[in-house]
Structure 1
Amino acid sequence: MRDAVASLRTGAGRYECGIWLGDLPAAKRISFLDRLVVERLDRKCRDVLNVLERCGGDWAQALYTMLFRAMGGNRNRESYIDLASRATYQMVLRERGDIELVEALLLGTAGMLEGCYFDDYIARLHDHYLYLARKYGIVPMRAGEWARAGIRAQNRPVTRIVQLASFVARNDFIFDRVAGCRTREDVHALFDTEVSGYWATHYVPDGSGERCPRRIGAEKADLLAINAVVPVMFAYGQTTGKGALKDAAFDLLGDIPAENNAIVRSWSGMGVPVRSALDSQALLQLRNEYCTRGRCTDCKVGKSIIKVRDKAFSFR
Structure 2
Amino acid sequence: MLFTEDFLHYIWKFRLFDRDNLQTTGGENIEIQSAGMHNTDSGPDFGNARIKIGDTTWAGNVELHLLSSDWAKHNHTNDKAYNNVILHVVYRDDEPVTLANGRHIPTLELKERIPDELYNRYHKLIYGNQTVIPCEASIGKLDDFTLRTWFTRILIERLEKKSTAVIAALEVNRGDWEETFYQFLAANFGFKTNAVPFELMAKSLPQNILAKHKNNPLQIETLIFGQAGFLSGDFTDEYPKKLKTEYEFLRKKFSLTPIDNHLWKFMRMRPLNFPTVRLAQFAALVVNSNHLFSKILDIKDVKSLQKLFTDIKVNAYWDEHYQFDKPSKPTSKNMGPASADLLLLNTLALFLFSYGKYNQQQYFIDRSLKLLENLPGEHNNIIADFNDLGVKANSAFETQALLELKNYYCNYKKCLQCSVGNKILKLA
Task: Specify if TM > 0.5.
Answer: yes
Consecutive unaligned residues in structure 2, runs of 5 or more: 4-119
Partner residue in 2 for 1:252: 371
Q: For residue 424 of structure 2, what is the amino acid of its counterpart? A: I
Partner residue in 2 for 1:27: 145
1:83 aligned to which of 176, 193, 201: 201
Is residue 16–residue 270 contact of structure 1 (8 Å, CA) maintained in 2? Answer: no
Aligned counterparts of 1:26 and 1:125: Cα–Cα separation in 2: 56
Aligned counterparts of 1:105 and 1:34: Cα–Cα separation in 2: 42
1:236 aligned to which of 355, 371, 374: 355
Moved over 6 A (4+): none
Partner secondary structure for residue 117 of structure 1: coil
Whichever of the two has the greater Rg, that structure is 2
**CA 1:118/1:28 → structure 2, altered by over 3 Å: closer, same or farther?**
same
Size of the alignment, in residue pairs?
309
Is residue 183–residue 255 contact of structure 1 (8 Å, CA) maintained in 2? Answer: no
How many Å apart are 1:288 and its aligned residue? 1.3
Residue correspondence of structure 1 range 140-159 to structure 2 within 5 A: 140-159=258-277
- What whole-Å deviation, never above 9, does each CA across 1:37-90 have from its counterpart, x for those lacking one? 111111121121122223232110111011111111222221111111001222
Partner secondary structure for residue 56 of structure 1: coil
Residue correspondence of structure 1 range 174-185 to structure 2 within 5 A: 174-185=292-303
- What whole-Å deviation, never above 9, does each CA across 1:92-145 have from its counterpart, x for those lacking one? 211121111111111111111221421111000011111121121111111111
Partner residue in 2 for 1:71: 189
* Bigger RCO of structures 1 and 2 (CA < 8 A, at least 6 apart): 1
Is residue 203–residue 212 contact of structure 1 (8 Å, CA) maintained in 2? Answer: no
Aligned counterparts of 1:19 and 1:188: Cα–Cα separation in 2: 39
How many Å apart are 1:14 and its aligned residue? 1.0
How many Å apart are 1:19 and its aligned residue? 5.0
Aligned counterparts of 1:116 and 1:95: Cα–Cα separation in 2: 25
How many Å apart are 1:182 and its aligned residue? 2.7
Is residue 184–residue 255 contact of structure 1 (8 Å, CA) maintained in 2? Answer: yes
How many Å apart are 1:151 and its aligned residue? 1.7
Is residue 122–residue 205 contact of structure 1 (8 Å, CA) maintained in 2? Answer: yes
**CA 1:106/1:5 → structure 2, altered by over 3 Å: closer, same or farther?**
farther
Larger relative strand fraction: 2
Consecutive unaligned residues in structure 1, runs of 5 or more: none
Q: For residue 34 of structure 1, what is the amino acid of its counterpart? A: T
TM-score of the two chains, using structure 2 as the length reference: 0.69
- Give the root-mean-square deviation of aligned CA atoms: 1.9
Partner secondary structure for residue 322 of structure 2: strand
**CA 1:119/1:269 → structure 2, altered by over 3 Å: closer, same or farther?**
same
Partner residue in 1 for 2:398: 279
Q: For residue 377 of structure 2, what is the amino acid of its counterpart? A: A
Q: For residue 190 of structure 1, what is the amino acid of its counterpart? A: L
Partner residue in 1 for 2:384: 265
How many Å apart are 1:232 and its aligned residue? 0.6
TM-score of the two chains, using structure 1 as the length reference: 0.92
Does residue 218 of structure 2 align to residue 100 of structure 1? yes
Partner residue in 2 for 1:190: 308
Is residue 18–residue 270 contact of structure 1 (8 Å, CA) maintained in 2? Answer: yes
Aligned counterparts of 2:278 and 2:392: Cα–Cα separation in 1: 33
Does residue 161 of structure 2 align to residue 39 of structure 1? no
Aligned counterparts of 1:95 and 1:18: Cα–Cα separation in 2: 56
Does residue 125 of structure 2 align to residue 8 of structure 1? yes
Partner residue in 2 for 1:137: 255
Partner residue in 2 for 1:225: 344
Aligned counterparts of 1:242 and 1:120: Cα–Cα separation in 2: 50
Is residue 18–residue 272 contact of structure 1 (8 Å, CA) maintained in 2? Answer: no
Partner secondary structure for residue 290 of structure 1: helix
1:204 aligned to which of 323, 338, 341: 323
Aligned counterparts of 2:366 and 2:207: Cα–Cα separation in 1: 28
Quick check: 281-290 or 48-57, which moved more? Answer: 48-57
**CA 1:161/1:188 → structure 2, altered by over 3 Å: closer, same or farther?**
same
Q: For residue 266 of structure 2, what is the amino acid of its counterpart? A: R
Quick check: 45-54 or 105-114, which moved more? Answer: 45-54
Partner residue in 2 for 1:112: 230
